[in-house]
Amino acid sequence: MDYGRSSHAASASASTKIVVAGGFGVGKTTLVGAVSEIVPLRTEALVTNVSAGTDDLAATPSKSTTTVAMDFGRITLADDLVLYLFGTPGQRRFWFMWDDLVRGAIGAIVIVDTARLDEAFSAIDYFEAKGLPFIVAVNEFDGTQRYPVDEVAEALALPSHVPIMPIDARDRESAKSALVRVTEFALQQLSTATRPVGASPASPDA
């Protein structure tokens, strides 16, 4: 066995952290579970015991559990790139944990439900205030009305540079495409932030 080669391959690989955020019941746990190549770590409690009388469950009457700390998963996007996924709790009373979860992340996915767009504003405002690159993923639930993403972006007052895309959080390839997009966007933003003043963007063919 070529131990030197194996050691070099391991050292050449990179890992990074992506946060999956959004309101209660928008599909964060579902997305992490759909793409994770390990059994996801979930910290859930029964809403009947924890949320009764505290949280508004009217929009998600069939949901029986809620994330109280985080969801954790892992996916290998390429031979040299591993993503660690951290899903945030959606309930407002657990938002104090977000600061810890986003520490060290390069980017975030904000999942939205078009039937409850108002719940997305807090997450969007949070990442804008943190200066953390994020994309918006519109989860296309069964039976809900679908809108062009540009209309959703306008309704959310998204800055023009923030990517927005439709996804099905249950589908591995669809969820994976969102992870690829946020990784690309985060690296693009990092490159822009570290480019010397007056320098021109690198040519795609460079």
pLDDT at residue number 167: 97
Mean pLDDT of 173-200: 85
38 with 104: CB under 8 angstroms?
A: no
pLDDT category at 191 given cuts 50, 70, 90 is confident
What is the pTM (predicted TM-score) of this model?
0.77
Mean pLDDT of 147-171: 96
Task: Please give the single-letter amino acid code of residue 67.
Answer: T
Q: Alpha-carbon distance 63 to 47, whole Å?
A: 8
Sheet with strand 81-87: strands edge to edge: 41-46, 65-78, 81-87, 14-22, 107-112, 134-139, 164-167
pLDDT at residue number 11: 45
pLDDT at residue number 6: 41
pLDDT at residue number 204: 38
Give the residue extent of every domain in the chain. Answer: 3-50+66-194
pLDDT tens-place string over residues 103-153: 999 999 999 999 999 999 999 999 999 999 999 999 998 888 899 999 999
pLDDT category at 61 given cuts 50, 70, 90 is very low
Write down the CATH number for the domain with range 3-50+66-194. Answer: 3.40.50.300
Q: How far is CA 197 from CA 108, 125, 192, 205, in A?
A: 27, 28, 10, 22
Residue 166: is its pLDDT beyond 70? Answer: yes
Q: To the nearest whole percent, how much of the chain has pLDDT over 70?
A: 70
pLDDT at residue number 147: 94
Mean pLDDT estimate for the chain: 80
What 3-state DSSP class applies to 95? helix
b/e map 97-127, b = 16+ CB within 10 Å: ebeebbeebbbbbbbbbbebeebbeebbebb
pLDDT at residue number 78: 86
Q: Which of 114, 86, 109 is nearest to 99 (CA)?
A: 86
